[in-house]
Structure 1
Amino acid sequence: MSSRPRRPAASSSGVHLLSSTRVITALVSAAQLGEDDLVIDFGAGPGTITAPLARTGSRVLAVERDARFVADLRRRFDDRPRVRVVHDDLRTVRLPRRAFAVVASIPFAVTTPLLRRLLTPGASGFSRAELVVEWGLAKRLTAARPRDLESAWWSCRFVLTVRRRVPAECFTPAPRVDAAHLAVRRRSEVDRRTSSILWAVLSAAYARPSAPARVSLQGVAPRRITHRLLGGLPAAEVPAAVWLALAQTLAADRNVIPPRGMP
Structure 2
Amino acid sequence: MPARTPRSSTPARRTDRRTDRRPSTANHHGIHLLRSGTAVRGLVESAALGPDSLVLDLGAGPGTLTAPLARTGARVLAIERDPGFLARLERRFGDHPNVRVVAGDLTRVPLPGRPFQVVASIPYDLSTLLLRRLLTDANGGGSSLAAADLVIEWGFAQRVSRAAPRDLETAWWGAAYELRVVRRVRAAAFTPAPSVDSAHLRVRPRPGLTGRRVRRLLYAMLAEAFRCPDQPARTVVAEVAGRSAAGRILGESGLDRGVRAGAVPADRWAGVARSALGLSRR
With normalisation by structure 2, the TM-score equals 0.82
SS of the equivalent of 2:182 reads strand
Aligned counterpart in structure 1 of residue 150 of structure 2, from 104, 114, 131? 131
Task: Name the CA distance, whole Å, in 1 between partners of 2:182 and 2:62.
Answer: 25
Alignment partner, residue 220 of structure 1: 240
Residue 12 of structure 1, CA deviation: 5.0
- Specify the alignment match of 2:221 in structure 1: 201
Can you list the C-alpha shifts for 1:27-78, whole angstroms capped at 9, x where unaligned?
1111111111100000101110011111111100011111111111111111
Q: Does 1:187 align with 2:219?
A: no
Partner Cα separation in structure 1 for residue 248 and residue 157 of structure 2 = 32
Give yes or no for the alignment of 1:240 onto 2:260.
Answer: no
SS in 2 for 1:253: helix
Q: Within 1, Cα distance between the matches of 2:57 and 2:256?
A: 40
Matched residues in 2 for 1:11 and 1:54: separation?
Answer: 30
When residues 219 and 71 of structure 1 are mapped into structure 2, their CA distance, relative to the original with a 3 A threshold, is same
Displacement of 1:230: 5.0
Q: Which amino acid aligns with 2:262?
A: A
Q: Report the Cα distance in structure 1 between the residues aligned to 2:239 and 2:163, rounded to whole angstroms.
A: 27
**Partner-residue secondary structure (3-state), 1:219:** helix
Match of 2:280 among 248, 254, 257: 254
CA distance in 2, matches of 1:125, 1:135: 26
Give the aligned residue type for 1:249: S
Aligned-CA RMSD value: 1.9
Please list every run of 5 or more consecutive structure 1 residues that lacks an aligned counterpart in the other structure. Answer: 1-9, 257-263
Measured in 1, the distance between the counterparts of 2:230 and 2:280 equals: 31
1:237 Cα deviation from its structure 2 partner: 1.2
Identical aligned residues as a percent: 51
1:64 and 2:80 are equivalent in the alignment: yes
Q: Give the C-alpha shift of residue 226 in structure 1.
A: 6.6
- Taking the aligned partners of 1:147 and 1:118, their CA distance within structure 2 comes to 20
Q: 1:135 to 1:163 in 2, by over 3 A?
A: same
State the distance in 1 between where 2:236 and 2:205 align. Answer: 28
CA 59–11 in structure 1, closer or farther in 2 if over 3 Å, else same = farther
Could you say what secondary structure the match of 1:109 adopts?
A: helix
State the partner residue of 1:29: 45
Alignment partner for residue 133 of structure 2, among 101, 117, 121? 117
